[in-house]
Amino acid sequence: ELLVATRHIWYTEFRSAFVKHIDILLHDEVLAGVGVTARETLRVLVDLIHAIRTELKPAQISRIVHMYSRDLHDPAFGPMIQTMCAKLLIGLVEQIAKSGFSKPEGRKLYIKIMYVFVSKFNSLRMMFPAVVRYCTRKKIQTPKYAETFATIPELDGWMDIGFSQPIRTCSKAFEQSTDVIKGGSSEETVLIKAMVFGIKTIVVQMKAFNPPPPEESTITEQWFMCARGFSQDEVELLVQLLRNAVRCIDYYNIENFNPDGEPLRATERTPPGMLSKEEKEILEGLASIYTVVEPSVFQEVFSSQIPYLFEQTIVNVSVLAIPQYFLANSAVSSNFSGLLLRFLVDGLEKVGCDDKLQAGIMLRLFKLLFLAVTLFPEQNEIVLRPHLSHIIMQSMKLSARAKEPLNFFALLRALFRSIGGGRFEMLYQEVLPLLQVLLESLNGLLAAAHKPQMRELFVELVLTVPVRLSVLLPFLSFLMKPLVIALQAGPDLVSQGLRTLELCIDNLTQEFLEPIMAPVIKDLMSALWKHLRPVPYNVVHSHTTMRILGKIGGRNRRLFMDPPELGHVLNSESGLDVALAFHGVERAQTFSLDSALNLVARTFERGDAATPFQREQAFAFARSCLPLLLDLDDGGEEFIEGLRSALVRFGSAKVPVQADGPPPQPSPFIDPPPVTRDRKEATDAALARVITTLFAAAGDSKLAGEAWQLVEDLCRHFAFLSVADALEADRERDSSAPASATAASAASGFDSLLSTSASRIDGFVDALVQVMTSEDADHRTLGEKALTLFHSACRSLLPTREAVDALPVLHTLASRFCSCCYRPEWFRKTGGTLGISILSSKLSLGSRWMLAHELDFVKALLYVLKDTSLDMATTNVADAIETLKHVLTVCNRVEDPPAAGDRMDRQAKFSSLISLLISELSNSNRSVRETIQSSFRLLAELTGSEVTALLVPVRERLLAPIFAKPLRALPFAMQIGNIDAITYCLALSPPLLQFNEELSRLLLEALALADAEDQALVSKTSQYRNAASLVNLRVVCIKLLSAAMSCTEFVQPRQNNTRARIIQVFFKSLYSKNHEIVGAANK
């Protein structure tokens, strides 16, 4: 009661009388005491100290800071009391600067308060799991626990003697907290916010305690614009502040953590929304602390903490507000941009990872960085310049092997949009050497793209390459096809295409522009005329198009002279039709269902754009089409008995059958009407479309069970037909031999079955290959399972593995998969490689079958490797290399001694294989050369021979083309391939080559190439392609000279001059600016 009365006096002018007694009131045992109600006493004392803070002496302020710093860390006090202590300390910050403290003493007291707050952040971070458990328990707790000894341990997991006594001698931190769950942990976040802004106030006030500026400095005002004089321990304190305060932001997202305080998986978290006002203020307040410290301290803190910030951003996306604030702040934008850019460039591969959250954060950071370049071009353009070419080219290269390649192109789109507009001349100079290879690569990707969104993305990249029009003139032809596609795309691309076309027409002459536009002028004019539409069409597009046509003049009417394009149909037959009878019409009317089948296929291709009801109806229609395309009659028991007899005969050794058996019985099948080739092709195509639709339905979660069961039944059905096809082929081969009545009846039945329109083995094979070569990885997985099931069904029908290997359908599948490897689309190549891998590794096909297809497989897989751009890959070649190694292992491993005829056949095929491989040893593609070399090592291990012994019989196939022309007469890529092949031959043990006149001439040529200057080898050394080729050429030349130096024949005295020149080139290469050349010369 006395304290309450005294508290009212402290709000009057009589409070000054208590100033001389403040030391007594601050004593622990006088006013506060040690009882349970001491916290209420603290609240009263805080009111007094806040009221008389301007009259306090330095010693009293120091004592108050010490007392309330201790209370801030007292776990017996709840969050509200601790927040009160923190606010009292913050209220004394400004008074410290006015109370006569010396600079060292005042700065020391500021650092002490900072240390207290940082330690409290650390305590809150360590307490976070307990808070999560507390909030989780409170959410599911309905009745209030009775205060008994039985239930007290359930409150927080342990027994507290002071809390469990009838008259409590202690209290819990959250015992009287009523708002700890609301909005995360409201009472804790109030404390966090108070401490963040308190530290900001401290750092701002520390500017007045800066050490004096250097004597020679003339910028005294700038010296006191930021806090200076931080020791190493104080810098470490700022580091700990960042790490602990960022972790405390998790109090705003408690719902994204499990009861143990660990973050939930990305798929289980609440989708991130807009930052709350309070959370944004705290994050920006935390970031602003580091903007008022000297730049060297900022650099030291964040040079080591950006990886930690990135990790915390993955846990809590809200942390992105910190780098966003730095990049938008002119004081630190340049420093932070350099640090962040170095981190992002080092981790560029993460942009294409399958973790969508991590890849999304990388993209977001890149976009924020590019935005900072736009906001502060003078500061940040020079920061981005050294990394620009690396970002562009590495994005193109990494997209080839990334699981999410479109992320890299989205990164390039953000980059091109940010630095376009003609304001960044230095960056345009960095893009100039990359221009040709960039445009060629994007046009290649555009030609291979088949999805509209991918095509539009590549078109936008081509049209927004950040260079001047004058620089783009030699490569203007690369823009014509993308320009036509842009004019036929969405509104944004149409606007971009019209601007680009008008820019070219305004600035280029008719004589220069018309030959470039000639290949696409017809499509270009058609696209322009389509934009001449009245309202409600886009008025801007219409007016711009009219203006462009006016600038072209009379040339725009040339389109009228071209003949019209007429549609045509190669096959007039209908793949699927139905006959419907109408009342009053004698003959049934036939209707084609091909258009409906196409609609069904498009329904599943649309993905999420189609509703579940539409997908269910599409699946039902596809399923109902099967009876119209398949013959579901089992043929009767006699046919089954005949089938069993024929299977036994087909799978076992053929033995003579007595001719005096019973006469053949007539076939139970009715002879079908003849089917034309066009009709069969149309029906097979319809069946393939239905089966691919069923596979697409099997990838839908709601339709997967029923659709996959149907696919399994179809695999067994066509396995039976495939076996019947093999029996029919076997019967035709043995038609001169007599047969039993049952076998003859079965054979006649097979003949009838396979000649009907219901036997659609080709349609099934087409569907299976389409699914296996699909762009969707899930569809490829389903196709792999179906192929395995199909083979198992065939294996269950036939008695031996040799009989399974003889099935014609397997040879057809092998041929189709090889053909897919020659297709231009990357997913077709991937599917073809996958199909070859399954046939050679998972289906347990015999070595004779594998030998029959070995050369075809090797040629197809090598084409996948060869059909890869020298600058960037369009498909992942790792699977092709692994499949090639497995094929070579299966076909050439040592087994039981073969028969004499098989041995001769095996030797002939092995010789053909070595000839094929050695002819590709000098290929211009590095991946092909490395794969061939590893293949030779593998074959040597399998056969137990030396690599040299394998290559000697066929080495002329390699050497004759190499020695036929001098190196200077060949392109760079062929020079590199030839030199690398000769280096490999010299490095073999024993060497494949002997020193002769031709080899000496080639060594001298390589020596001249390694010693020549760049300008002597190529005119435009700044071009990216030329620069990269020169580096690779010098590296392979140095390796060839090194391999020649290690040969014993090169030690002869007549080679001394050459050896001296080679050593001179080695030392000269050590001073190269390129690290690859230096590394090769050093070795």
pLDDT tens, residue by residue, 18-51: 666 666 666 666 655 555 555 555 555 565 566 5
The pLDDT of residue 1054 is: 75
> Which portions of the chain are predicted below pLDDT 70?
1, 3-4, 7, 10-11, 14-16, 18-55, 76, 100, 139-185, 215-221, 266-268, 270-274, 555-564, 608, 631-675, 729-759, 868-876, 894-902, 1019-1023
Whether residue 604 sits in one domain with residue 539? no
Tokens found for residue 593 = 């269902």
The pLDDT of residue 657 is: 36
- The whole-angstrom separation of Cα 49 and Cα 868 is 77
pTM for this prediction: 0.77
The pLDDT of residue 324 is: 93
Whether residue 1034 sits in one domain with residue 912? no
Q: What is the helix, strand, coil percentage profile of the chain, to 5?
A: 70, 0, 25
- The whole-angstrom separation of Cα 709 and Cα 694 is 10
Decide: 332 and 375 in contact? Cβ < 8 Å: no
Decide: 921 and 984 in contact? Cβ < 8 Å: yes
Which residues in 1051-1081 are b (16+ Cβ under 10 Å) and which e?
eeeebeebeebbeebbeebeeeeeeebeebb
Confirm whether 220 is domain-assigned.
no
Residue with tokens 């490689």: 833
Nearest 10 degrees: Cα torsion 1018, 1023, 1024, 1029: -10
Distant-in-sequence contacts of 454-460, Cβ < 8 A, 24+ apart? 454/406, 455/485, 455/489, 456/485, 456/486, 456/489, 456/490, 456/493, 457/406, 457/409, 457/410, 457/413, 458/409, 458/482, 459/485, 459/486, 459/489, 459/493, 460/413, 460/416, 460/486, 460/493, 460/496
Comparing C-alpha atoms, which of 147, 138, 62, 45 is closest to residue 96?
62
Confirm whether 364 is domain-assigned.
no
Question: What is the total residue count of the chain?
Answer: 1083
The domain in which residue 474 lies consists of 432-558
Whether residue 786 sits in one domain with residue 685? yes
- The whole-angstrom separation of Cα 419 and Cα 391 is 14
Residues in a beta bridge with 227:
293
The pLDDT of residue 595 is: 86
420: how many CB neighbours lie within 10 A of its CB?
Answer: 16
- CA 903, 908, 909, 913 dihedral sign is positive
- The whole-angstrom separation of Cα 232 and Cα 239 is 11
Q: State which of 506, 540, 558 marks the end of a domain.
A: 558
Whether residue 444 sits in one domain with residue 501? yes
Whether residue 874 sits in one domain with residue 1000? no
Distant-in-sequence contacts of 523-530, Cβ < 8 A, 24+ apart? 523/484, 524/480, 524/483, 524/484, 524/487, 525/556, 525/558, 525/559, 526/559, 527/484, 527/487, 527/488, 528/487, 528/556, 529/559, 530/487, 530/488
Whether residue 1003 sits in one domain with residue 913? no
Tokens found for residue 892 = 């050439």
**DSSP letter assigned to residue 675:** -
- The whole-angstrom separation of Cα 42 and Cα 32 is 6
Decide: 351 and 364 in contact? Cβ < 8 Å: no
Whether residue 724 sits in one domain with residue 666? yes
**DSSP letter assigned to residue 227:** B
Q: State which of 871, 892, 919 marks the end of a domain.
A: 919
Which residues in 881-909 are b (16+ Cβ under 10 Å) and which e?
bebbeebbebbbeeeeeeeeeeeeebeeb
What is the crossing angle of helices 377-398 and 333-346, to 10°?
10
Tokens found for residue 976 = 């590199």
Nearest 10 degrees: Cα torsion 145, 148, 152, 154: -60
Decide: 972 and 923 in contact? Cβ < 8 Å: no
336: how many CB neighbours lie within 10 A of its CB?
Answer: 27
- The whole-angstrom separation of Cα 463 and Cα 480 is 10
3-state secondary structure 285-329: HHHHHCCCECHHHHHHHHHHHHHHHHHHHHHCHHHHHHHHHHHCC
584 conformational bin, left if phi > 0, alpha if psi -120 to 50, beta if neither: left
* Cis ω for the linkage preceding 536 (within 30 of 0): yes
Confirm whether 628 is domain-assigned.
yes
Whether residue 760 sits in one domain with residue 860? yes
The pLDDT of residue 1063 is: 85
Measured in whole angstroms, the distance separating CA 305 from the mean position of its chain's CA atoms is 25
944: how many CB neighbours lie within 10 A of its CB?
Answer: 7
Comparing C-alpha atoms, which of 294, 305, 298, 198 is closest to residue 242?
305
Confirm whether 599 is domain-assigned.
yes
The pLDDT of residue 748 is: 46
Q: State which of 904, 919, 934 marks the end of a domain.
A: 919
Model confidence over 755-768: pLDDT tens digits? 443 457 888 899 99
Whether residue 897 sits in one domain with residue 766? yes
The helix (H) or strand (E) run that includes residue 580 is: strand 577-580
Q: CA of 314: how far to CAs of 355, 403, 609, in Å?
A: 10, 19, 30
Confirm whether 947 is domain-assigned.
no
- What phi and psi, each to the nearest 5 degrees, are found at residue 56? -80, 150
Cα 855–Cα 860–Cα 864 angle in degrees, nearest 5: 145
- The whole-angstrom separation of Cα 391 and Cα 370 is 12
Confirm whether 1012 is domain-assigned.
yes
Measured in whole angstroms, the distance separating CA 169 from the mean position of its chain's CA atoms is 60
- The whole-angstrom separation of Cα 844 and Cα 846 is 6
Whether residue 541 sits in one domain with residue 598? no
- The whole-angstrom separation of Cα 562 and Cα 875 is 39
- The whole-angstrom separation of Cα 118 and Cα 115 is 5
232: how many CB neighbours lie within 10 A of its CB?
Answer: 8
Our count of domains for the chain comes to 3
- The whole-angstrom separation of Cα 628 and Cα 626 is 5
**DSSP letter assigned to residue 475:** G
Confirm whether 208 is domain-assigned.
no
Confirm whether 478 is domain-assigned.
yes
What does 104-119 look like in DSSP terms, one character per residue? HHHHHHHHHHHHHHHH
Whether residue 598 sits in one domain with residue 554? no
Whether residue 978 sits in one domain with residue 865? no
- The whole-angstrom separation of Cα 1055 and Cα 1006 is 15
- The whole-angstrom separation of Cα 934 and Cα 881 is 10
